[in-house]
A and B are shown apart, each in its own frame.
Chain A
Amino acid sequence: AQKVTQAQTEISVVEKEDVTLDCVYETRDTTYYLFWYKQPPSGELVFLIRRNSFDEQNEISGRYSWNFQKSTSSFNFTITASQVVDSAVYFCALSSSYNTDKLIFGTGTRLQVFP
């Protein structure tokens, strides 16, 4: 069975602090895909990144970076120099190679960035 765990329910930081959101996944598939989405209060899930299981390179996009480690089944997300606009709920998700459009979501981490 597939499962995604986001153990951090809520994180509060002050602007300009760095923050890391943890994501641990479980799957028996050798090929799978990992995603991060941001959900602002409006409700829309905003796509941030997709990573396949064969690509363990870390990725950086502006203030965002992702650390994928198959050895620990983790796909952590770091925001550097956080800003108030980063306040949202962040979801990590997993899909398999045979069910690529069926996402298994974690419970989400609510990030609050205070000025």
Chain B
Amino acid sequence: KAGVTQTPRYLIKTRGQQVTLSCSPISGHRSVSWYQQTPGQGLQFLFEYFSETQRNKGNFPGRFSGRQFSNSRSEMNVSTLELGDSALYLCASSFAGSGNTIYFGEGSWLTVV
């Protein structure tokens, strides 16, 4: 069974631009969450979507946004990119029940120059 798929895998953007990252969850999974990983801050929760609704949000500025589609696929967007947004962005999916296992994709490596 296919795992969590993220696209693109690598991208380079310029400060001030915006970026959209895509995530396809494991088939049947209805919850999708996003994490940012940087050397300085480690792994931090961005937000979680379930049934096209944002259910949880981490402590990130409004430049970070996301959405989920009816097929559970999700996108996250970062506007007005800053150098500090350079990071590995990881998407995860689960069945969205209590204590369900959360599976991660390979991530999207974003470099902002």
Contact = CB atoms under 8 A, between A and B. Distances in A.
B100 A42 contact: no
Contacts of B48: 101-102
A101 B108 CA distance: 20
Contacts of A44: 104-107
Interface string B73-109: 0000000000000001010101011111111111101
Contact of A101 (B42, B102, B106): B102
Interface stretch (A15-23, A45-53, A59-67, A75-83): A45-53
Contacts, number: 68
Most chain A beta-carbon contacts within 10 A, residue among B56, B94, B98, B99: B99
A97 B42 contact: no
B31 interface: yes
Contacts of B88: 43
B56 A101 contact: yes
Nearest to A106: B42
Contacts of B42: 105-108
A35 interface: yes
B99 A52 contact: yes
| Interface residue range, chain B | 20 to 34
Interface residues of A, number: 25
A87 to B, nearest CB: 18
A35 B58 CA distance: 19
A37 interface: yes
Given A101-B55, A101-B56, A45 B99 contact: no
A40 to B, nearest CB: 10
3 smallest beta-carbon distances between A and B, as pairs? A45-B104, A105-B43, A44-B106
Interface of A: 33, 35, 37, 42-47, 50, 52, 91, 93, 95, 97, 99-108
Interface of B: 31, 33, 35, 42-45, 48, 50, 55-56, 58, 88, 90, 92, 94, 96-107, 109
11 contacts: A42-B106, A45-B90, A47-B103, A50-B99, A95-B99, A97-B98, A101-B92, A101-B100, A102-B56, A103-B33, A106-B42
